[in-house]
Chains A and B, each alone.
Chain A
């Protein structure tokens, strides 16, 4: 299991955060996704094999931009 932190741009309401969470959880290998509107960050628990690109794409699919993944 790996922990990843994504910085997300463009969120401005709680539905945004919950949309991104939903989209991230659909990525295969993602166990847990917590997106915080307050910190503009998402913390993801996932398998090691989940790539940064997959996560970024998931954020983009919900209509937002992932600035960085750590």
Chain B
């Protein structure tokens, strides 16, 4: 009897320790000693596959430097934590422009000399070849992505939604909604759906009354929302029929349509475009290799490489001509690109200056709203 008690106690203790150790896994460490490597951080899933095929592999081929891939879900938190702790193990990070500018203000990202940017395939000068506002002090543009909403034709069998306002219309389209657990893009979508003109949108968002208005609008769908954290969850929620519609990054829906043959439909009305950049974490001991990596990724060929795997528009005009069909399935890429004029009848370009200054405040307010 005594011994069984001891066994029970030790089992309980061991299990308690194991529970405590079951924390989320940390980021991947650098490569093996003796072999040069850098760690490039990206959003995982189909997008990570696209960047690996698009320019990680060719970089290793050209320089012999290995590229270790690590996943994250966006945001500056881990970059800040690494720099403040003095333990930088990420080198190059995929960020939105607003995040890059905030990080630059805080000194957690390296300045990037624009003279390292390579010319286009026909000698196009970088300053003319990059789309407007793609490059900033600490970030080199690589693509344009879009936040859209999508639905599953097998689940939503009635009359289809066509406008952004339909996403917020629970009367005509009753059912759960997938939304990213982040204030980015959903605040803009809510205000647009509430009838705020696009040119006044960020002015409205800057006022206390405007913020009240956004969250009042979001309150109308709050109890029907399934919040997701990783971009790959959005197509999964649609495929499982967990939600009737979901907000998503357009490339993820494209990937599910083309590679998995899912009957998903993207509603381009009210799409929120944003610029994606590569940035280098301040204080990385592998600065030279990281710079060469960013330089390599800024080639039109690299951007076209990504654009042939996933439907994100390249940051250079000269790369647009190099993108035709999906590398594996042969699907025409341009009808799926967010910057295709057919998809841009009603779009909003994210104001990165506004987000750089207000992003943390919005996250704080959004988190408080979510927790209530």
Chain A partners chain B: no
Which A residues form the contact surface with B (CB < 8 A)?
Answer: none
Which B residues form the contact surface with A (CB < 8 A)?
Answer: none
